[in-house]
Amino acid sequence: MKKTLLYFMLAFCFIIKANAQDLLGDLAKEDSLKVKTNIATATFKSTRIINLQSVEMTGKGNLQFMISHRFGYLWKEGKGLTNVAQLFGLNSGFANTYMSFDYSFTDWLNTGVAATGNAQFETWAKLKLVRQQSGKKNIPITISWFSMMHWDASEGPSPDDLAWNRLSFIHQILIARKFSENFSLQLIPSYIHYNYVPYGINNTNNIFSLGIGGRMKLSHKTAITLEYTRQLNGYKDLLDETASALNYKPDVLSLGYDWDTGGHIFQFFISSASTSSNITQLSANLNQMKLGNFSLGFNLNRSYGIKKVVQTH
C-alpha cells in the first residue's frame, strides 16, 4: 500500500512538472511574438549639434552645465605673421564666452538659463514632441520644439529705454532622423522676433532662417558634426535711423569634432559665427563666409544627477 501511494505521488509530481514546463513554454512563445517598441536613442550625443540645439535633452532629473568659448579670427587680412604669433586667434585678446544651466523635469521637458556675454541673457524651454521609433509604432523622425527669450541688459543709449524693447525671441522646430548607428541629420527652421528694431529702410521685426545639421559617428566616443544655416530675409540693404548702411551675412557654416570622455562631452569646432547667441548668429551675422573669418571654439558639457529617478517595469 505504501509503495502504491509513493508511486502515485511521484507520478502526480511528474505530471505537474510537465504541465508547468508547457505553460512556461507557451508564455515564452507569446512574449516573443509580442511586437516590441524600439526607440531611437543618441541621435546626437549632445544637446547641441555645434551652435544650434539638437533634438536631445538631458535625462529626467539631470542638471547640465555647459560652457562655450569662442576665440578670434584664424587669419586677419593684412596682419601677416601676427596671426601666427596670436596662435590663429587663440591668443588674440578676443574671447566670447557662453555659460548655461539647464534641467529636465521630465523626459519631454527641459528648461534653461544662460549668460551669453556682453550683459546678454537667455532663458528657454525645449519640448520633445515625437520620438523616432519602430515596432509597435513606426515613426521615422524625432521632433522637438525650442523657444528662447533673449534679454539685452547692457547700458542703453537712453535712461528711458524700455526693458520691453530689449527682448527678442526665437522659436524652432527641430526635426531629426537617425538613419543608422553612425549617421544622423536634423532640419532646423527658425523664426526670430525682435520687439524693437531701429527705424529705417528694410528693417524688420521678424526674421526667418533655415538650417541643417548632421553627425557622423567615428567611434564609440567620437564623431564629426556639421552645421549650415541661411538667413532668409532682413539682411540686405538695411538703413538705420542714422542713415548708416548695413548688410548682414546670411550664411553660417560650422564644422565640429565631438569627444565623449564618459563624464564630459567636449565639442571642438571651427565656425564662421563669432557670436555665441543663436539670435545674433541667425539674424545679425557680420562675418563673411571665408577662411580668414572662421574662428576656433569649444563646448564643454557636464550633467549632474539632481533627482533620483526610479525605474518602474
Question: pLDDT for 255-300, tens place per residue?
Answer: 999 999 887 899 999 999 988 899 999 999 998 888 778 989 999 9
Residue 138 lies in a domain: yes
Residues 155 and 248 in one domain: yes
3-state secondary structure of 182: coil
Q: In angstroms, how far is the first alpha carbon of the chain from the final one? A: 51
Residues 141 and 198 in one domain: yes
Residues 210, 232 contacting (CB under 8 angstroms):
yes
d(CA 108, CA 90): 38
Which residue range forms the structural domain that includes residue 159? 40-305
Kindly tell me if the per-residue pLDDT of 63 is higher than 70.
yes
Residues 215 and 157 in one domain: yes
> Beta-carbon neighbour count of residue 131 at 10 Å?
19
Residues 295 and 240 in one domain: yes
Closest by Cα among 219, 201, 284 to 257: 219
Residues 105 and 180 in one domain: yes
Residue for grid cell 527678442: 168
Residue 312 lies in a domain: no
Residue 143 lies in a domain: yes
Residues 18 and 72 in one domain: no
pTM here is 0.83
d(CA 79, CA 88): 11
Kindly state the DSSP code that residue 160 receives in the 8-state scheme.
T
3-state secondary structure of 284: coil
Residue 146 lies in a domain: yes
pLDDT in tens, 132-184: 999 888 999 999 999 999 999 887 655 557 778 889 999 999 999 999 999 99
Residue 13 lies in a domain: yes
What does the pLDDT read at residue 200? 73
Closest by Cα among 211, 210, 223, 167 to 42: 223
The answer to which of 70-74, 131-135, 230-234 has the lowest mean pLDDT is 70-74
What does the pLDDT read at residue 85? 77
d(CA 142, CA 188): 12
Alpha helices in 56-142 (DSSP H): 82-85
Using 50, 70 and 90 to split pLDDT, how confident is the model at 239? confident
Residues 28 and 10 in one domain: yes
Residue 271 lies in a domain: yes
pLDDT in tens, 185-194: 999 999 999 9
Closest by Cα among 49, 52, 71, 43 to 230: 52
CATH code, domain with 260: 2.40.160.40
Residues 179 and 252 in one domain: yes
Residue 311 lies in a domain: no
Residues 267 and 137 in one domain: yes
The number of distinct structural domains making up the chain is: 2
**Type of residue found at 87:** L
d(CA 231, CA 249): 8
Residues 25 and 115 in one domain: no
Residues 106 and 12 in one domain: no
Residues 95 and 203 in one domain: yes
